[in-house]
Amino acid sequence: MAVLQFREALMQAIDEEMDRDEKVFIMGEEVAEYNGAYKVTEGLLDKYGFRRVIDTPISELGFSGIGVGAAMNGLRPIVEFMTFNFAVLAADQIINHASKVRYMLGGQASVPIVFRGPNASAGQLGATHSVAYDSMYAHFPGLSVIYPSEPDDAKGLLKSAIRSEDPILFMESEQMYGLKGEVSEEEDYTIPIGKAKVKREGSDVTVVASGKMYHIAKQAASELEKDGVEVEIIDPRTIKPFDIETVVKSIKKTNRCVIVDEAHPFGGMAAEVGFLIQREAFDYLDAPVQRVTLPDVNAPFSKPLFDLWLPSAKNVIDAVNTVTYRK
């Protein structure tokens, strides 16, 4: 196992796939000459040249469209957004084209494309730069959404995403690019899309958390452990398709569940998973499923308000206490 930063794990995945398949290329704002806004593409320009590592103008809709067209014509583009908050400009290409081409052409064409970049909030960046989009894209048929929490998952899943025949939204976090973690050194290491991972075993409550929220859940679990509460943490890793089987299996053991989601509450991943749990594990629940989400309020800029707004370990602990009837 090598210890890598999250950004290095992503870079290895892109590098290995570009090396393996010359149809793979990357484009986006500052990916080439500047080595990436978050240095994910560091060194790739030198290695693969301007034809495969392409700087674009600040024009998300334009370069997303080029990506979709390239994918339809047999290439495998990786489109980097400086943040998914800017990808809303490209929503027509992602939602109306990438997701629907295979369907509307009766399977005659596919769109093997990866849209990737940081998702959700990254501190005091204001309301327009702090939105979590994973649940929104997961709403649409034809799109898969991946939101890994650790470097190892990031590498294995990004390689699988690049090889997928259909469009993938691959979400990262500005605050996690420097996160270090052990990454498998297995040759050609891939992780199947749609498989959750039990990252911490426990008998008292199941906590479902992906991306940045996984780390919040982990903090809460260590705190709760001191009180004798054993938390089982499941990182779905892929938001869609969602691996409900792993969650249900865990709930059959713990009988309680808290879902942590960095999105707003209405119609989000937590809502969907909560629904699936009540349908699939009704007889195993000892308490109503709780969720910890953002409030139904846009991101505040003020630091004190922001800290209240973002789900915290304390929120998770409180929710766990509720489902375990500890207070």
Partner 1 sequence: MAQKIEMPKLSDTMEEGVIAKWNVKEGDSVSSGDVIAEVETDKATMEVEVFDDGTILKILAKEGEAIPLGGVMAIVGEKGEDISGLMDGGGSDNEESKSETKSEEKSDSKSEGESESKSEDKNKSKNEGGKEEESDSDSVDSTPSDENGSNGKSKTGKDKKPDSKSDDGRIKVSPLAKKMAEEKGIDIENVKGTGPDGRIIKKDIEGYKPAEKSAKGAPVASFDSEESEDVKISQMRKAIARRLSESKFTNPHFYETIDINMEHAMSARSKLNEVSDVKISFNDIVVKACTVALRRHPAVNSSWLDDVIRKHGDVNVAVAVAIDEGLMTPVIRHADKKNLRQIGNETRELAGLARDRKLQPEQMEGSTFTISNLGMFGIEEFTAIINPPNACILAVGAIRNVPIVKDGEVVPGHMMKVTLSSDHRIVDGAKAAEFLNTLRQLLENPLSMLL
Site track 75-114 with partner 1 (rule: CB under 8 A), x = hit: ----------------------------------------
Beta bridge partners of 232: 206
Closest CB to partner 1 among residues 72, 277: 277
Q: Which stretch binds partner 1 (CB under 8 A): 60-68, 89-97, 227-235, 312-320?
A: 312-320
DSSP state of 282: G
Judged by CB under 8 A, does residue 253 bind partner 1? no
Determine the Cα–Cα distance for residues 207 and 301; give it in Å rounded to an integer.
Answer: 29
Determine the Cα–Cα distance for residues 14 and 38; give it in Å rounded to an integer.
Answer: 14
Determine the Cα–Cα distance for residues 33 and 95; give it in Å rounded to an integer.
Answer: 30
Shortest approach of partner 1 to residue 138 CB, angstroms? 12
Shortest approach of partner 1 to residue 273 CB, angstroms? 12
Closest by CA position to 258, among listed 237, 283, 286, 226 = 286
Closest CB to partner 1 among residues 51, 325: 325
Site track 262-291 with partner 1 (rule: CB under 8 A), x = hit: ---xx--------xx-xxx-xxxxxx--xx
Q: What is the CA radius of gyration of the chain?
A: 20
Judged by CB under 8 A, does residue 322 bind partner 1? yes
Interface with partner 1 (CB under 8 A), residue from 57, 141, 228, 304: 141
> Which residues contact residue 16 at a Cβ distance below 8 angstroms, ignoring those fewer than 6 apart?
159, 188
Sheet containing strand 238-240, edge to edge, reads: 53-55, 24-28, 76-80, 114-118, 168-172, 144-146, 238-240
Interface with partner 1 (CB under 8 A), residue from 103, 297, 301, 303: 297
129 is catalytic: yes
Are 266 and 240 in contact by the 8 Å Cβ rule? The answer is no
Token pair of 248, please? 């249900």
Shortest approach of partner 1 to residue 218 CB, angstroms? 17
Shortest approach of partner 1 to residue 171 CB, angstroms? 20
Interface with partner 1 (CB under 8 A), residue from 255, 269, 273, 299: 255
Closest CB to partner 1 among residues 30, 280: 280
Closest CB to partner 1 among residues 198, 287: 287
- Check 129, 150, 172, 232 and give the catalytic one: 129
Shortest approach of partner 1 to residue 78 CB, angstroms? 28
Judged by CB under 8 A, does residue 311 bind partner 1? yes
Beta bridge partners of 78: 26, 114
Amino acid identity at 30? E
Shortest approach of partner 1 to residue 292 CB, angstroms? 6
Give CA 37 to chain center in angstroms.
19
Closest CB to partner 1 among residues 162, 281: 281
Closest CB to partner 1 among residues 183, 310: 310
Torsion of CA 97, 100, 103, 109, to 10 degrees: 30
Judged by CB under 8 A, does residue 175 bind partner 1? no
> Which residues contact residue 269 at a Cβ distance below 8 angstroms, ignoring those fewer than 6 apart?
134, 135, 138, 210, 239, 242, 259, 261, 263
The footprint of partner 1 (CB under 8 A) covers 141, 244, 255, 265-266, 275-276, 278-280, 282-287, 290-297, 308-312, 314-315, 318-319, 321-322, 325, 327
